[in-house]
Amino acid sequence: MKIIDGTIPLDGLKRMAIDGFGNMVKAVVDVEREVMAVDGELHADEEALLLQNGSLQTKTS
């Protein structure tokens, strides 16, 4: 699992998919900071990683 703050090559995403779920890569995005956590087993794990690295969790209506 890692945080991406720039571009990631399509081949990199394909490798993550093959190593993980076969045909998909899970990601959680912080749209304010323009970063995403990818390659986690659970979305909650990726969310926790973003929160540990400065993202804020807010509720919107």
| 46 occurs within a structural domain | yes
The predicted pLDDT at position 61 comes to 64
CB count, 10 Å around CB of 20? 15
Q: Is residue 11 part of a domain?
A: yes
What total of structural domains would you count in the chain? 1
pTM of the model: 0.83
Which residues, listed in sequence order, are joined to residue 38 by a DSSP beta bridge?
A: 2, 27
Question: Is 60 among the domain residues?
Answer: no
Is 20 part of any domain? yes
- Give the pLDDT of residue 58: 81
11-54 pLDDT, tens digit per residue, is 999 999 999 888 999 999 999 999 999 999 999 999 999 999 99
Residue at 36: amino acid letter: M
Is there a domain that residue 59 lies in?
Answer: no
- Are 46 and 10 in contact, with CB atoms under 8 Å apart? no
Domain residue limits at 11: 2-52
- Over 90: is that where the pLDDT of 59 sits? no
